[in-house]
Amino acid sequence: MADAAFDSSDAARAAGGLPHARTLTLPGPFALRLGGSLPEVAVCYETYGTLNASRDNAVYVCHALSGDSHVARHDEHDAPGWWDILVGPGKAVDTDRFFVICANVLGGCRGTTGPASIDPRTGRPYGGDFPRITIADMVAAQARLLDELGVERLHAVLGGSMGGMMALCWAVEHPERVDSAILLATTHCLSSQALSFDIVGRNAIFKDPNYNNGQYYDREHKPDHGLAIARMIGHVTYLSDRTMSRKFDPDREHPRDVAYAYEKEFSVGSYLAYQGGRFVERFDANSYVALSLAMDHFNLGRDHGGLEAAMARVRCPVLLASFSSDWLFPPAHSRRMADALLARGRRVSALEIESDCGHDAFLLENDLPVYGPLIEGFLNRPRSCPDPCSPPPQAEPAANVGLRADEPATTNVRSIFYANRLDLERIEELIPAGASVLDLGCGAGQLLSRLRARGSGALLGLELDPVAITQCVARDLCVVQRDLDRGLGVFRDRQFDVVVLSQTLQAMRRPDLVLREMLRVGATGIVSFPNFAHEAAVRQLLETGSSPVTEALPFPWWSSPSIRFFSIRDFEALCAQLGIRILSRIAIDSATGRQMHDDYNRRADMAICVLSGWD
């Protein structure tokens, strides 16, 4: 239907054949996690690109509940794939570089063994007798497929929604085979709210008079109405309130005329009727039941003695991306997974993407400019930092942190706001080689990159800006999106040798709490900040009566990120009040690069202080 309001992640999917798909039968029996087995398993899969000679460029794509093996078109004559925007030559998942594999999941209805398949023991479809399967069973079938294809190890595994659950399961249960994992819009365990929608959907199928306990394949009528209603319910959870308002509020009571026999009183009703009716043409009700139950029973923490214990099994870097308007698997779920990985010293980068598109955002073009480069950078990053990003617990204060007050400042004259920031050069000099470092407000990872290049301990950055996070990920730096004003509760006491807060304190709502937290998790703290009492700023304020704009304070008052305007002396007074010791202070006039020893509160426009809160 050529109607923009009817566009969805299902738009390109159809019930047609898969001419490029191949089927491989795994030797049986295939044991299942909840008991029992299948006598044999056929796996329908498609591949893109070429496996290189060293067999280390394989990327496995895990599809969501209603997906299949056709992740992308193979040529201009092929039907569209469900992730064409991301996978293909020159795209984020570049098939000119990577050997991409995608298979229909166990329990599906697009070529892989599922309820509609023939049970070789009876000669009839399994139907309602198809055994209960799990996400782990799906991954086990994928692992067996890779064995048959001669792929021992994956460069990456990625997926969204249910596909993200499988990618997570790969990283936890097959850590020796995965070099990196990308998890989009997913969860480690469904919420009760998400679970309830699936329950209603399955009841719609079960109560369809044509369901017949799942034994309907030899009948004229199938439980199409129940499946359509289940899809309508599910589709609502994939959208957001803002998206639905934008699509349907302008013509709320003017529904489209669609050829499906469901309520069409409202515009949104005709949309749901269309989505439900089309879904029935390409999907099987028993598969919907089997796959949704597998999702609903997925609980990584329960299966491994707690979420942190599960994440302790992960050995590869993990990228987590969530979407702000996703209320099915909300960003809080990704934060919990990131926190569990951090708590166990695993390499993780995490970003919440601002989006109006709801759960389906990872399948749509709207936010591709954000998540596309993020995934591309993660896949193509240099493998230069193999160690976990969290250091051993209870780090002792790093030796020789800081400089004597009379040591000369660097001669490289740069404003602290230029790309070659003067404060970062000095901070690097203050951090001993081999120290573990947490960089609060790490930007694009300039300091972390410097530290890694010269040799360091574990490195981790916290940052809010999604563009900066994407740049860090492409540099193979661990960075997690966090609001520093909410504290650092995920980190242990003295988890890092050094915690850095560069040019960020003035943007904090509660600088006192941020300082306390950084000196809780770090043996030593290093803080750099602009001095608002610098003579140039004071003179401009006195002479013009306007908020100063100087080399070190380049923003007009209405667009400045600074919300705290303090001097070096103000900072020293706050440290004294908090019981924080200033081990060394470097006050610099960034215009000349000179370190100010006398009258520094007036003559310096920037300060770097090395702090300790421990006796």
Binding residues for substrate: 231, 360
352 DSSP β-pair partners: 322
Catalytic annotation present for 254: no
Considering the candidates 326, 339, 367, 476, report the single residue annotated as catalytic: 326
Three-state DSSP at 281 gives coil
Q: How far is CA 321 from CA 195, 375, 532, in A?
A: 22, 9, 38
Return the HEC string of 542-568: HHHCCCCCCCCCCCCCCCCCCCCCCCH
Q: What tokens were used for 590?
A: 């960034």
Binding residues: 231, 360
474: β partners: none
Nearest to 108 by CA among 256, 269, 282: 282
Query: Each residue of 542-563: b (16+ CB within 10 Å) or e?
Result: eeeeeebebebbeeeeeeeebe
Active-site residue, 359 included: yes
Catalytic residue among 359, 476, 497, 528: 359
Whether 304 is catalytic is no
Q: Helix axis angle, 162-173 relative to 285-296, nearest 10°?
A: 50
Is residue 430 a contact partner of residue 608, using CB atoms and an 8 Å limit?
Answer: yes
Please, are residues 359 and 237 in contact by the beta-carbon 8 Å criterion? Answer: yes
* Residue 153, token pair as written in the block: 């190890």
Cβ-based neighbours of 196, under 8 Å, separated by 6 or more: none
Check: CB of residue 472 under 8 Å from CB of residue 445.
yes
Q: Quote the longest CA-to-CA distance of the chain.
A: 94
Helix (H, G, I), strand (E, B) or coil at 496: strand
User: Which residue do the tokens 């900040």 mark?
Assistant: 529
3-state secondary structure 77-124: CCCCCCCCCCEECCCCEECCCCEEEEECCCCCCCCCCCCCCEECCCCE
Q: Which of 8, 69, 161, 528 is catalytic?
A: 161
How far apart are the C-alpha atoms of 219 and 212, rounded to whole Å?
A: 10
Angle between helices 511-521 and 568-578 (to 10 degrees): 60
For the chain, the C-alpha Rg in angstroms (whole number) is 28
- Helix (H) / strand (E) element for 302: namely helix 300-303
Chain Cα centroid distance, residue 103: 23
Provide the sign of the torsion angle of the four alpha carbons 417, 420, 424, 430, taken in this order. Answer: negative
Centroid of chain to Cα 590: 38
Q: What are phi and psi of 468, to 5 degrees?
A: -65, -40
3-state helix, strand, coil in the chain (%, to 5): 35, 15, 50
Q: What is the DSSP string of 396-453?
A: PPPTT-S--TTSPPPS----TTSSS-HHHHHHHHHSPTT--EEEET-TTTHHHHHHHH
Q: Which residues are catalytic?
A: 161, 326, 359
